[in-house]
Chains A and B, each alone.
Chain A
Amino acid sequence: MLQIKQYVKVTSLDEAYELNKKKSNVIIGGMHWLKMSSKSVGTVIDLSGLGLDEIVETESTFEIGCMVSLRQLETHEGLHAYTMGAMRDAVKDIVGIQLRNTATVGGSIFGRYGFSDVLTVFMALDASVVCYKAGEISLKEYAKKKADRDILVKLVIKKQPLRIAYLAQRHARTDFAMLTCAVCFADGMWRAVLGGRPEKAEMVMDEEKLLTNGISVTEAQAEAFGKYVAEQLEFGSNMRGSAEYRKEIAAVLVKRALLTAGGNA
């Protein structure tokens, strides 16, 4: 059973940062994972009084506060349009609406969970993370780092012309995915991000230049790229599938996402 000694709803990020220095303290998002643990927590730090639950869309960026819920990501029309529906596709099968109403994007990203659809799609968008002390770093980098006591304040997506599609392989519909996949074209190059391997999302760029026609992709090219991506990544076995199976369907998912996002969908 989770035990908590104190609850503090902070009035500033600085207050949160100071409290979070103590190892027995925890910043809470949706608290779903924390609640399942039998941790003994000193102080839970609630950021929900700091206005970090907003998605701010400007001409050039999306700024997504860490306390934005997965449901907000799902219903935001601007994000939906910009991501060609991929953001909604990424979160819509996560457990249920009730959970998505309280699970936060900050919690998902900070957790760097292997199964995370959220991490996968944001990484494909090449988002960056703004931390209280460390400032802005790319999500790719952030995901590789170990969790520390700094506060994830917001995610930033710099708008640019892109094509993106999201696919996940699930057996039971609202279960963890056996594999998550987002494929994105930006800055003249295709990139694929695969998570749930069961390890967390990792990006593979089309460095071999298998896709040479910009956003236009043929079936054969898509298949080749899919196989290529599957070769670049490590896959493992767990309750939901074997490494061999994941590798097989990785190629398939990448191919399909590519065809959806690309001009030959």
Chain B
Amino acid sequence: MELKFILNEKNVVTEIEADSLLIDVVRDLGCLSVKRGCETSNCGLCTVFVEDKPVLSCSVLAARVEGQHVTTLEGLQEEAADFGAFIADQGAEQCGFCNPGFIMNAIAMFRENPHPDDEEILAYLSGNLCRCSGYEGQLRGIKAYLEFKDSQKGEA
């Protein structure tokens, strides 16, 4: 069947099957940042936005995004580099495999709640697993980024 949707602000038309999953469709369309890490919706690696909401692309039928906006990290390169730099400055990106899903969800969090406290950060990102970093460096990076954003506003 045909699927028409908007992928990273570009109109896309592609052939899918009824059981095609969004993760496979976006990867086939070149969005290789989207990773698969499990089969049970637990790891969060496959996080993308559908209409700006973070969802698990491994569990979304591609057919369901007909006419909708889908965003992957490929479409958020500037924001990813901006925020990612703070993670990189901690050395917390480590193997990088959890990064795209984690950064997608972090961006969703920054948009929803620009001033989260530690508890809120950990709760918002609880669906993003990481095995390398122990999470602590990611938290440091997030807080440094939030501080930086605040200081920018102060100077603006």
Determine whether A and B are in direct contact in the complex, meaning some CB atoms lie less than 8 angstroms apart. Answer: yes
Binding site for B on A (CB under 8 A): 2-7, 9, 28, 30-32, 35-36, 41, 44, 46, 48, 92-93, 95-99, 101-102, 173-174
B40 touches A36 (CB 8 A): yes
Minimum CB–CB distance from B54 to chain A (whole Å) comes to 5
A98-B105, A101-B53, A101-B54 known; A7 and B63 CB under 8 Å? yes
> Are A98 and B40 neighbours in the complex by a CB distance under 8 Å?
no
- Once the chains are docked, how many angstroms separate the CA of A4 from the CA of B55? 21
B11 interfacial by beta-carbon distance below 8 Å: no
Pair A174/B59 contact, Cβ less than 8 Å: no
Tell whether, in the assembled complex, residue B18 and residue A92 are in contact, meaning their CB atoms are under 8 Å apart: no
Interface residues on B, range: 20 to 34
Enumerate chain A residues within 8 angstroms of B61, measured Cβ to Cβ: 4, 7, 28, 31, 44, 46
Chain B positions near chain A (C-beta within 8 angstroms): 1, 17-19, 21, 39-42, 44, 47, 53-56, 58-61, 63-64, 66, 105, 108, 123-128
| CB-defined contacts of A7 to chain B, threshold 8 Å | 1, 18, 61, 63-64
A98 touches B63 (CB 8 A): no
Whole-angstrom distance between the Cβ of B82 and the nearest chain A Cβ: 22
Task: Rank and list the top 5 A-B pairs by shortest CB-CB distance, nearest first.
Answer: A96-B127, A4-B19, A7-B63, A7-B18, A4-B18
Judged by DSSP, the binding face of A is mixed
Across the interface, do A97 and B105 meet the contact criterion of CB distance under 8 Å? yes
In the bound complex, do residue A2 and residue B59 qualify as a contact, i.e. CB atoms below 8 Å apart? no
Of the A-B pairs whose beta carbons lie under 8 Å apart in the complex, a sample of 10, sorted by A's number, is: A2-B19, A9-B64, A36-B40, A36-B41, A95-B126, A95-B127, A98-B56, A99-B127, A101-B53, A102-B60
Residues of B within 8 A of A35 (CB): 21, 41, 58-59
Whether the pair B126, A173 counts as a contact (CB closer than 8 A) is yes
User: In the complex the two chains form, is A48's CB within 8 Å of B64's CB?
Assistant: yes
User: In the complex, what residues of B have CB within 8 A of residue A28's CB?
Assistant: 61
A174 to B60, CA, bound (A): 21
Q: Is the CB of B66 within 8 A of A98?
A: no
> How long is the Cα–Cα vector from A3 to B19 in the complex, in angstroms?
6
Checking A2, A95, A98 against B54 with a beta-carbon cut-off of 8 angstroms, the contacting residue is A98
Cβ 8 A contact of A92, one of B1, B123, B128:
B123
